[in-house]
Amino acid sequence: MTFRWALAGHGHISSTFRDALAAVPGAELVAVAGRDTNRVKAYAEAHAIPKHYVSTADMLDAGGIDAVYVCTPHPAHLDAALASVGTKIPVLVEKPMTPAAGTTGQLVDAARGAGVFAMEAMWTRFLPAYLSVREWIDQGRIGDVQLLTASFGFRAELDAEHRLFSPALAGGGLLDVGVYPLALAQWLYASAPETVVATGVVGETGVDEHVVVSARYPGGLAQFGCAVRANLDTCAVVRGTEGHIEIPAFWSAQSATLHRGDTIETSSHPHRVNGFEHQIEEVMACVREGKAESDKMPLGQSLELAEVCDQIRNQLGVTYPFETQ
């Protein structure tokens, strides 16, 4: 039976989702919702999407949907996801699930209370390359894990009107790309951090432009970096007492390399499309099995990530206008 997907939002990331969805057997994109009538109509026509709506609520009321992918700007995630959960429609919410722990907790409670599947779209979590990383660690190939280093940063031109630099849109490096190394450490150590120390640069628009974080977990240490005004090395390294593992472009990992003494071993896992296909398949499998949460990216971990991001923002002094309203 065809699994019918719908889009709440149609920004840049929706194209990545669309391309991956087209390669997933049994999946179909049947509807899209947006705020502007002309824009959402043009989007639907350009990509052969059968139906379009001017609100997520209208799209949900129309029915004929098996799951919604929420890809609106960060602050709009909550309303779209709550609407989906409220109509018993499973939802995949682009990261971050919401911009703050309080609203993330609200969504988690709503999904659990309704018994409806919900998941944060932390697509890195589902990449096959990490199966090799976990296997090497579990086999003791690098000894006891001691340290993770991981950064994700790029240099964007300063534009106060762009979402990356807009406090009203929860801009900044932390929520855009910093969640990736944080989620990697959470996966590696299977825990939230015990301590977090952050420093960084808050730009003239009031968002975090470059952040460095040191954290201690029950199983080891982690050092992170994220930025929207600096190019950072995106190779993650897991160091142990007997060796280390390198993961190039870790957020989109297609390979991992084990280093132990003179031994170098690489495990390659090229994307079928762009890597999003794996999280799409996870949602479909969970929904078909009647699960309310993914075992690989449960709601509790999304809440943990939001809480850590709040800690970091508090240390940097970054707040969003909608948090004080």
The C-alpha atoms of residue 257 and residue 204 are separated, in whole angstroms, by: 40
C-alpha dist (Å) from residue 68 to 49, 64, 216, 226, 302 = 14, 11, 36, 29, 18
Number of Cβ within 10 Å of residue 281's Cβ equals 17
Residue 141, phi then psi, degrees to nearest 5:
-65, -30
The C-alpha atoms of residue 62 and residue 278 are separated, in whole angstroms, by: 28
The two tokens of residue 299 are: 């709601």
Q: Please identify which residue in the block is written with the tokens 């990216």.
A: 297
The C-alpha atoms of residue 31 and residue 267 are separated, in whole angstroms, by: 38
The C-alpha atoms of residue 41 and residue 195 are separated, in whole angstroms, by: 48
C-alpha dist (Å) from residue 151 to 2, 77, 177 = 39, 25, 9
95 is catalytic: yes
Residues 6+ apart with CB under 8 A from 148: 181, 184, 185, 188, 189, 220, 221, 222, 223, 236, 237, 238, 239
Q: Please identify which residue in the block is written with the tokens 């719908």.
A: 6
Half-sphere exposure of 74 (CA within 13 A, CB side): 28
Which of 41, 51, 95, 296 is an active site residue? 95
CB 200 within 8 A of CB 210: yes
Residue type at position 49: I
For residues 109, 115, 116, 117, the Cα torsion angle rounded to the nearest 10 degrees is 90
Catalytic amino acids?
95
